[in-house]
Amino acid sequence: MTDTNSYQTLAKYYDKIYELKDYKGESEILKQLIKQYKRSAGKELLDVACGTGTHLAFLKEAFTCTGSDLNADMIAVAKEKHPEINFEVADMSELELGKKFDVITCLFSSIAYIISKERLSKTIKGFAEHLKPGGVVLIEQWLDKDIFRAGEPHIATYKNDDLIITRVNTSEVKGEISIFDMHYLIAERGKTVNHFVEHHELAMHPTELLLSIMIENNLETAKFKNDPKFDRGLLIGVKK
Ligand SMILES: C[S@@+](CC[C@H](N)C(=O)[O-])C[C@H]1O[C@@H](n2cnc3c(N)ncnc32)[C@H](O)[C@@H]1O
């Protein structure tokens, strides 16, 4: 299995397909957790795998933000939305931003795009190295292998007067990897209908593995799962 970078064609439609995701509510919870756990004095925040930067729209009220993502098309959308924020195109397993932060977030299960345990260790080590002492990292997990329903059909849609998006998929599981071919049909006024398929592979890393790597990297850990917005689990690490 290889890691995939599957958001290229989707970038300009991403915010539409996730228009109902409660980024604002999630960001409020994140702010409360940061307040509860962070011991460093500063307000520098890095959102790793920030996508189109929608959490940053709410986090920037409270923090000086940076966003990074592997996909240049997602970063281009994020930059257009937030010209005042610094964005970097960067693979989270190779982070070298030359700067330390008070808060690092890695949300919406983006960590699961890191498939091998070796790269996962490297990624979390990189997060720890980019944190100031007392800084906090918040990592939103992907689904547990025990609850993932392989093969289940899913649909997501978006519609306005000029644009209709439909996404359908099933899935399969190989070992600890969940695999999806997302079929998009996009009908845009005045254009021929666009059909494309995006392939995603997400590792269902066990919580114990993630926590043990965090501990190895001098992060004191906790797990938040008390809100339906983060029912996949949000792992919190505070740099010693
Ligand atoms: C589900 S999206 C989440 C985006 C954003 N955090 C959000 O909540 O909307 C996953 C993101 O992870 C990014 N990604 C995947 N592999 C990555 C990697 N190795 N390094 C950095 N970003 C990566 C993708 O480009 C995509 O933007």
Confidence band for 9, pLDDT divided at 50, 70 and 90: confident
Q: Between helices 207-216 and 117-129, what is the axis angle to 10°? A: 50
Query: Which residue has better confidence, 3 or 116?
Result: 116
pLDDT at 103 > cutoff 50:
yes
Q: What is the mean pLDDT of residues 4-24?
A: 89
Range of the domain at 177: 154-202
- On whether residue 6 sits in a domain, the answer given is no
120, 108: one domain: yes
114 occurs within a structural domain: yes
Which residue has a Cα nearest atom 18 of ligand 1?
91
If asked whether residues 26 and 71 sit together in one domain, one would say yes
Q: Output the pTM of the full model.
A: 0.96
Q: From ligand 1's centre to the CA of 190, what distance in Å?
A: 31
Residue 4 lies in a domain: no
For residue 4, pLDDT over 70 is answered with: no
Residue 213 pLDDT exceeds 70: yes
Query: What integer is the mean pLDDT of 173-193?
Result: 97
Q: What is the pLDDT of residue 3?
A: 41
Ligand 1, pocket-test mutation among 24, 45, 58, 69, most atoms within 8 A of CB: 69
* SS3 call for 81: helix
Write down the pLDDT at residue 218: 98
The answer to whether residues 161 and 110 belong to one domain is no
- 107 shares its domain with 183: no
Q: What is the pLDDT of residues 139-177, one digit of tens each?
A: 999 999 999 999 999 999 999 999 999 999 999 999 999
Q: Which amino acid is at 96?
A: E
Q: Which CATH number fits the domain that encloses residue 40? A: 3.40.50.150
Distance 50 CA to ligand 1 centre (A): 6
DSSP 89-141: E--GGG---S--EEEEEE-TTGGGG--SHHHHHHHHHHHHHTEEEEEEEEEE-
Q: What is the per-residue pLDDT for 102?
A: 98
Instruction: Work out the mean pLDDT of the chain and round it to a whole number.
Output: 96
How many folded domains does the chain comprise? Answer: 2
Q: How confident is the model at residue 208 (pLDDT cuts 50, 70, 90)?
A: very high
